[in-house]
Structure 1
């Protein structure tokens, strides 16, 4: 789950909020990293922002599910995404009255994980998307690893695009409620309650994805929705079946034994290849908190629980048993390749990885077959499933006249057109002929389409997650079955829609430090008691303050 050292929160210029006299120059100096003292000296009357103000409530948009395309695997109120075996032979016309967002071009600053697509002049998908929407969508695309710095520099420079992706505060400390209030549009009048009816495809996005878009008592962003079920622990079912083993252990002890049984060092095959996701899986066996636990308004971080230490010890036992890939602790970023190539047999991963594994690895392996494993209860019974983040990130819109905001929202509504519409087909698969061919009624990307379809529309906004894989439609039934199991045991993160200034400033630093300690314990280089020392330091330096801010925010949202 979606991932620099900053100055202490009480001395940061980013904790200043507009009270009517905050000048643009003063704000941009703050964003550039000037100290609070200098900013105060030149900009008049300020008051410090509080978690309470940042987390003030707003009426969420009404949820109006799209019902234009029926399926035997429908979305459910508890978070199951819909599944489709085929694309409709006659896609629904998304905009029967013509392009919905006619007007000037819209600049969108966003990120990408894939290679950058061909530019608009050589990109048939992009050209036709612009025609469909009614205006030029000028995507400014930055590789994901460079995006936080790009965001901060853009905010500091003041030359803002019309819309820009905003990562979650714990991944981007420049993304503050004060910044939103000063530079970006409060979309509440356009989107709250039944106002969303003007944008029916945005109204199709579930409420859980809208909740983190609320700051300062208003809706300041658009969602980039993701499935609440989260991802499973994927299994190489072909490798497990080959040994005649049960792929569904009923307890920690059975899981440990399965890991031993599938490990075959002579043939370079191991149970697992990533210690962090293995720890996450054991935590879900223990029904541990999903980042934070809230009990009667009192917050507990998952790292500081007894379950965290128990999971550390469990993964240390896995390491000692020799079931972890030998490069687990020394080589980063290879867990997916090891799993796809059969060097590991189990790998917890994101929901979208299901299709990716078949696309990228199945052709090279005869009999390649994926299964999934639910976390069993540590001592038997049912385990838990950490609820996935409701959004990858959000999209914020620069302050502008009402008519311009409406045009931008109409364009984003077009980018949220759901599965089964002609607009979805164009956005995901481009133009029939150059970008895709049809196999039955299903689009199959051509090499040109594979390059052009990396246009990062999903990192502006998107339709709700949909289960669909035309290259192997039978896996959709399995994916749907997983989600139905997962939503029964979901453990939500109560802090997801809340803002803590200290968490925004400190969590990335402490995440790096604590990961080093966590890996040291699981590898056996550090004693288990080192975790107690790490937690004492975290509480002293940041944790108790983060806790207090989340508790205040919780009280504000629930009062």
Structure 2
């Protein structure tokens, strides 16, 4: 896989952790690793900051006109770039070093083997920024344990990166107590000192409010649902298969495709396509599963549509159209090789795999073409989709940091948030030309040294608005952005969209086995009636009380959705 991508969001934690091959590919490509899970906290830190209280904390938004994308953002999509890269035409978004030469320590998750601390990439970035950044890279697979230990100690680095999927246990409380309020440096017009930070969408800053203060530097993402039904367009075209527009059409097509004797099945588990097909609220993060309907908060699992979605996904398994690998659930092997062999023709995964599967097969299988189906409503009408969160990885500054250190950190972030098509972006994401990457026919490709050194470090501090750029496969970049734009037209924001919610710790384990229960129902190991009983138990064990708690949060703060 050649690292020529700027992805709007890499796999959610669910899909990201399901496959070590995906993790390795994301690391090699330097793609942002975006995800979300619900958090929990002590009572003193419960709740959120939104509505009228948040507005005065947010940085002013000033669009960055340094680079014009080939495809502007629309309906919540990423911006898109399809042109070949012209190094001679790169723009400058940071005309003067804002760093004052100070030393800043940054702790961040890292997947793979960290490079030597004094490598050529780190030196070049520090010289560009004017700050001596010292990295404390930690194993991304065990980061939450390390994070908890560091935040419980008195020895906290100047900057700590916290992914949304690690916002568990006491970590949200520690974020609020250990990290600085960046409002004095960034709120309102103050952010204009850092033009690339000012160009970060307001929704991403909204997500960076913790405990009533602007504490996080965000990595923005498109809020359009990122799980897409990927399919073998080359085989569809050859066989004359039509892309389905309803659940009935999907079932009929799946039966037509499947021939177990010939080792061909239609799909993998389609649960995460069933949910949008029936208009079920997002399951990407706990708060997104609640929505105000006629004055009452309803959870996604209480709706009839939720059970209908599970039943349809179950029928696919029962009909024998699902590849046997899907029976393994989370432990299923990487779908890439068997998808390439044509053992199944459709599977649901993160939007980023549209490009990664294309690159994997480009040389050895030139006829191979993967494409993304539009999400469909079960009845063939327009789907009702629900927004995901607009940022899910954050960098925080130590509360004890001096103003000089804070300013140096913001100088780092102002470079790492530079848009695609700038010198700063290329340095952040690719390193030094000739050392870390080469360009042939407008396509940058990392060298071995680049693959070893230019990995998830500086990109974790802050990022530009969601961007898709594939100069090696411009038709894929266009396909991805236009898919987001079409789906964005049907995407709604639920009541807690964009809000950083800290649930009471007493509800932390309330839904721990929900996903396992879903998977058991879909695979026929449990019945729909078992799920109904599970939901009834969930309500009596705390779900109804949690509803009252969320309703008070909403009453007190208002909604950030618009």
The normalised TM-score by structure 1 is: 0.85
From 105, 116, 119, the counterpart of 2:116: 119
Select between 134-143 and 150-159 the one with higher mean Cα deviation: 134-143
CA distance in 2: counterparts of 1:77 and 1:314, whole angstroms: 29
Choose 1 or 2 for highest CA Rg.
1
Backbone CA RMSD of aligned residues = 2.5
Select between 224-233 and 166-175 the one with higher mean Cα deviation: 166-175
**Do the aligned residues in 1 keep the contact of 2:80 with 2:481 (CA within 8 Å)?**
yes
**1:244, CA displacement in angstroms?**
1.1
**Residues 169 and 479 of structure 1, relative CA distance in 2, 3 Å threshold:** closer
Instruction: Report the count of equivalent residues.
Output: 510
**Residues 452 and 517 of structure 1, relative CA distance in 2, 3 Å threshold:** same
CA distance in 1: counterparts of 2:355 and 2:214, whole angstroms: 33
CA displacement, residues 182-231 of structure 1 (integer Å, 9 cap, x when unaligned)? 22101111111211111111111111111111123221111111122232
Equivalent residue, structure 1, for 2:290: 292
**Do the aligned residues in 2 keep the contact of 1:375 with 1:384 (CA within 8 Å)?**
no
Equivalent residue, structure 1, for 2:423: 422
Equivalent residue, structure 2, for 1:370: 370
From 157, 162, 165, the counterpart of 1:161: 157
Equivalent residue, structure 2, for 1:513: 513
Matching of residues 436-451 of structure 1 within 5 Å: 436-451=437-452
Matching of residues 231-380 of structure 1 within 5 Å: 231=226, 232-247=228-243, 249-273=244-268, 275=269, 278-290=270-282, 291-295=289-293, 298-330=296-328, 332-337=331-336, 338-380=338-380
**Residues 214 and 322 of structure 1, relative CA distance in 2, 3 Å threshold:** same
**1:340, CA displacement in angstroms?**
4.7
Q: Which runs of 5+ in 2 are unaligned?
A: 1-11, 15-39, 283-288
Equivalent residue, structure 1, for 2:37: none
**Do the aligned residues in 1 keep the contact of 2:63 with 2:199 (CA within 8 Å)?**
yes
Q: Does 1:146 align with 2:173?
A: no
Equivalent residue, structure 2, for 1:483: 484
**1:496, CA displacement in angstroms?**
4.1
CA displacement, residues 283-324 of structure 1 (integer Å, 9 cap, x when unaligned)? 111122122322356322212211111111111100011111
CA displacement, residues 316-349 of structure 1 (integer Å, 9 cap, x when unaligned)? 1000111112121225153542435533322222
**Residues 352 and 138 of structure 1, relative CA distance in 2, 3 Å threshold:** farther
Q: Relative contact order (alpha carbons < 8 A, sep ≥ 6): 1 or 2 greater?
A: 2
What SS class does the counterpart of residue 280 from structure 2 fall into? coil
Select between 302-311 and 432-441 the one with higher mean Cα deviation: 432-441
**1:424, CA displacement in angstroms?**
0.4
**Residues 140 and 504 of structure 1, relative CA distance in 2, 3 Å threshold:** farther
**Do the aligned residues in 1 keep the contact of 2:388 with 2:497 (CA within 8 Å)?**
no
**1:504, CA displacement in angstroms?**
6.1
Equivalent residue, structure 2, for 1:67: 65
Equivalent residue, structure 1, for 2:210: 215
